[in-house]
């Protein structure tokens, strides 16, 4: 493992003077996405331990409003990979997990105790998503601590009308993200992140320096990993050209609606979102 300064430079492309990196958090700075997996299986005993670690994550008011569907059937995993179309490596993962927000369990608990469920609203939807995300993040940290690799897949929501029936998701349950899991073939370089000055605010939110900070970040990132033509977003809307930086590519993506039917889908799954 590299020392703290090297890890910070790899992650941010710059020195962060005065930042001390304890050994126990160094692996978190060195986290990488893994998209190629060996044929080695993940033992059930280890997977169950990772899932237990995930369930140890914080949960809003101890409500634990999430579920996870574990997939090992290669043919079923390949169905999801084929639907997504641009991520064929998903089919090589020995395990694919779909992390779900779950309001249904709370509704059933109210029924069991002859009480109304009076919280079918936007706040509950947000709490289910946050509970689910915290558990998934803890699962990822545990998996990487034992040498496994993971990659979150938001694209399961792009094919939610197919994924939900495949998994038998009932009313009140929806997929937040997929997660591929396996033993890495190799470790990719770390992804450069925005400088803390952009993300971390002290006492009050202040983005007055954003244009300058982003311009500097674009230059650092372009020097290390220029945006390839194949990585440009929405080439059917904007012309492909050389020299596109991270921030422009983000704007290209965010300027075109994505999953605009998600809210309507959630309503069909019993969420009021009021």
> What does the pLDDT look like over 65-106, one tens digit per residue?
999 999 999 999 999 999 999 899 999 999 999 999 999 999
164-168, long-range: CB < 8 A, 24+ apart: 164/269, 166/76, 166/79, 166/80, 167/69, 167/98
Q: Please write the tens of the pLDDT for every residue from 146-155.
A: 999 999 999 9
Q: Please write the tens of the pLDDT for every residue from 4-15.
A: 999 999 999 999
Backbone φ and ψ of 63, nearest 5°: -80, -25
Report pLDDT for 236. 87
The number of angstroms, rounded, from the C-alpha of 144 to the middle of its chain's C-alpha atoms is 15
Residue 212, judged by CB atoms within 10 A of its CB (0-12, 13-18, 19+), counts as exposed
- DSSP H stretches of helix in the chain: 4-12, 26-29, 44-54, 74-84, 104-112, 122-145, 160-167, 196-199, 210-224, 246-254, 262-268
Q: pTM for this structure?
A: 0.94
pLDDT of residue 50 exceeding 70? yes
The Cα–Cα gap between 153 and 71 comes to 14
Q: Please write the tens of the pLDDT for every residue from 192-240.
A: 999 999 999 999 999 999 999 999 999 999 999 888 877 899 988 999 8
Cβ atoms of 157 and 269 within 8 Å: the answer is no
The Cα–Cα gap between 153 and 213 comes to 29
State the distance between the two ends of the chain, measured CA to CA, in whole angstroms.
48
List all residues 6 or more positions away from 27 whose beta carbon is below 8 Å from its beta carbon: 1, 144, 145
Sign of CA dihedral 251, 257, 259, 262: positive
Question: Percent of the chain at pLDDT above 70?
Answer: 99
- Domains of the chain (ranges plus CATH)? 32-188 (3.40.109.10), 225-274 (no CATH)
Question: Percent of the chain at pLDDT above 90?
Answer: 90
Cβ atoms of 184 and 4 within 8 Å: the answer is no
Cβ atoms of 99 and 176 within 8 Å: the answer is yes
With bands split at pLDDT 50, 70 and 90, how would you rate the model's confidence at 260?
confident
The Cα–Cα gap between 171 and 182 comes to 31
Report pLDDT for 274. 84
Backbone φ and ψ of 29, nearest 5°: -70, -25
Report pLDDT for 1. 60
- Please give the mean pLDDT across all residues of the chain: 95
To the nearest 10°, the Cα dihedral for 228, 96, 73, 189? Answer: 40
Cβ atoms of 229 and 244 within 8 Å: the answer is no
Range scoring the smallest mean pLDDT among 29-33, 100-104, 202-206, 256-260: 256-260
Angle at 258 between CA 247 and CA 222, to 5 degrees: 20
Q: What is the mean pLDDT of residues 174-189?
A: 96
Kindly calculate the radius of gyration of the chain based on its CA atoms and give it in whole angstroms. 21
Q: What tokens does 16 get?
A: 């962060």
């Amino acid at each position: 493992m590299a020392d703290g300064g090297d890890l910070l430079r790899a992650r941010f492309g710059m020195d962060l003077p005065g930042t001390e990196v304890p050994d126990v958090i160094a692996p978190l700075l060195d986290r990488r996405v893994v998209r190629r997996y060996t044929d080695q299986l993940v033992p059930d005993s280890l997977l169950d331990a990772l899932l237990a670690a995930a369930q140890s994550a914080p949960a809003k008011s101890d409500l634990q409003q999430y579920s996870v569907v574990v997939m090992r059937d290669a043919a079923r995993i390949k169905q999801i990979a084929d639907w997504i179309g641009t991520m064929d490596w998903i089919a090589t993962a020995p395990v694919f997990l779909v992390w779900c927000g779950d309001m249904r369990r709370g509704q059933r608990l109210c029924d069991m105790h002859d009480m109304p469920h009076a919280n079918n609203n936007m706040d509950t939807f947000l709490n289910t998503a946050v509970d689910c995300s915290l558990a998934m993040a803890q699962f990822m940290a545990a998996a990487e601590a034992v040498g496994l690799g993971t990659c979150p897949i938001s694209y399961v929501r792009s094919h939610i009308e197919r994924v939900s029936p495949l998994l038998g998701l009932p009313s009140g349950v929806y997929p937040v993200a997929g997660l591929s899991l396996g033993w890495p073939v190799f470790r990719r370089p770390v992804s450069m992140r925005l400088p803390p000055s952009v993300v971390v605010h002290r006492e009050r939110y202040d983005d007055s320096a954003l244009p300058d900070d982003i311009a500097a970040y674009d230059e650092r990132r372009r020097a290390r990993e220029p945006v390839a033509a194949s990585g440009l977003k929405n080439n059917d809307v904007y012309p492909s050209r050389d020299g596109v930086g991270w921030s422009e590519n983000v704007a290209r993506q965010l300027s075109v609606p994505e999953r605009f039917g998600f809210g309507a889908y959630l309503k069909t799954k019993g969420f009021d979102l009021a």
